[in-house]
Structure 1
Amino acid sequence: MTNSPQQPPAGWYPDPAGSGGERFWDGVAWSQSTRDKAAPEAPAGASPSSAPDAGFAAPQSYASPPSGHGYAQSQQQYSQQPYGEQPGYGQQPYQQYGQQPYGQQQYGMQAYPGYGAQQLPRPAGFWWRFLGYVIDGFVIMIPNWLIGMMTGVTDRASGALEQWFRDLLIWSESQTAAPPELPPAFDDAIVQLSIIQVIVWIVYRILMYAWKSATVGQLAIGARTVPASNPDEKLGWGQIILRSIASPVLYALSLVGIINGLFAAFTPRKQTIADYVARTVVLKVR
């Protein structure tokens, strides 16, 4: 068992700050009281030649308690001193070792609203967005087909296409005239089916954004759509309706739809044109 070093008694000692005078040692720490160097005399209860305690290296006496190896040892004991004891003269009081200064945080571990102290959610990349879009396409395929069958648009498109194939077969055998063109009824049916698909997309997105802030495809890839200005908030109704309309309409315009999708590959926050219009961003939350 190791005994803690004994402190020298209170008294006047040579100033460790190097002023040439003397500074008062109160038995625990240096005080702010100084005086000119007096005639040498031993402190009360000890002689100048008395041996130092275990906390101060020999051959020093109480005349210079905090200097040399002994003073270094007393500084090493600082972290073990009870609360309220002062450190050696000139040292910073109550310094806490092993702790970062206030206000400094480790990079990448900042607190994020709604997510706690963890890594910030990142924008969903192009291929994740593409996979989610494909999944959503399969999801709305069934309601598109049902509505097309219920309205008769699918039957009209199929009948017009069959008639064109028969005309094409007859033309291939005779080749007496120009090849037949697709009938106008087929073009009309395709336009109607496209309108039905866009409406289904819009209703589907409105319902999913209002319920989960994400479509089924986005939920499958671990993403969700949030306001670009404050990702911790849910989408407002204005943003929900605007994005639900902008995205299907842009994708229905063929070349514009391709450009809209490619925006997610090259923009800094992986935003499509529809995201810029509605001021949203799709985050990868898991």
Structure 2
Amino acid sequence: MTGFPLPAFPLPAFLAGFGLSVVAVVVLLAVVFAVAVAQKRHSVIDTAWGLGFVVVAAVTFLASANDGDDGRRWLMLTLTAAWGLRLAVHIGWRARDGKEDPRYEDMLGDAPGSRNVYAIRRVYLPQGAVMLFVSLPVQVAMYAQGAVGWLGWLGAAVWLVGFAFETIGDAQLTAFKRNPANRGTVLDTGLWRYTRHPNYFGDAVVWTGLFLVAADSWPGVLTILSPALMYWALANKTGKPLTEERMGARPGYREYVANTSGFFPLPPKPGRGA
């Protein structure tokens, strides 16, 4: 027999664990929806976004106890939980004023019929589906066989770069907004000098790192579309475009767009387009 035999993978156990993840996400979003209705603001789901991945990682970690490699299971749980909890705390603190996010006001303002039912269809169900799909590298890796190899540790290093990038970027933006003198101006220093969205870029790199950890053992490489979807959403759909639409009228933002990379960090160059 030629070639290298693929490591065994406990597919029935994985499918059972995936079913548990679906149930966990549905329960989480149901709780979030109840809180949103009580507070009359559906933007609370943004805080639950990171928490959802933590829940999926925790459920899959427990479900895979007798199947996956313990080293990879702990690594995936630790990396996912660190990213998800930091993001949840950051967004929750940012939204502590209790006001509805303008994005959701625009989306739900002209809802046909019940605003809450419309929110379920347009916000909760899509986010739940995306959460389960994007988290596939985490779920698959929990059941993967064999010790973590060089590609897995490379993935952890890539994750660390992305985590540092988004954490530092968020901290710089928070400090910028805290200064009243900066009201109505554009942050173009620190990491924001090299990319207009260091937080979104960092998120994308984090999920690239998690994918590499999964790809270290079969069949993790098959989850490549999960980080690809995260990249596409952040750069072309729900991240960068919506933020820039909201910022477009701010004085100096057009010049900032012309001089600063739209997503991937690059040296600023006057006259360069987005």
Q: TM over 0.5: same fold?
A: no
Greater RCO between the two (CA within 8 Å, min separation 6)? 2
Rg bigger for which structure?
A: 1
Higher helix share: 2
State the TM-score, normalized to the length of structure 1. 0.26
Higher strand share: 1
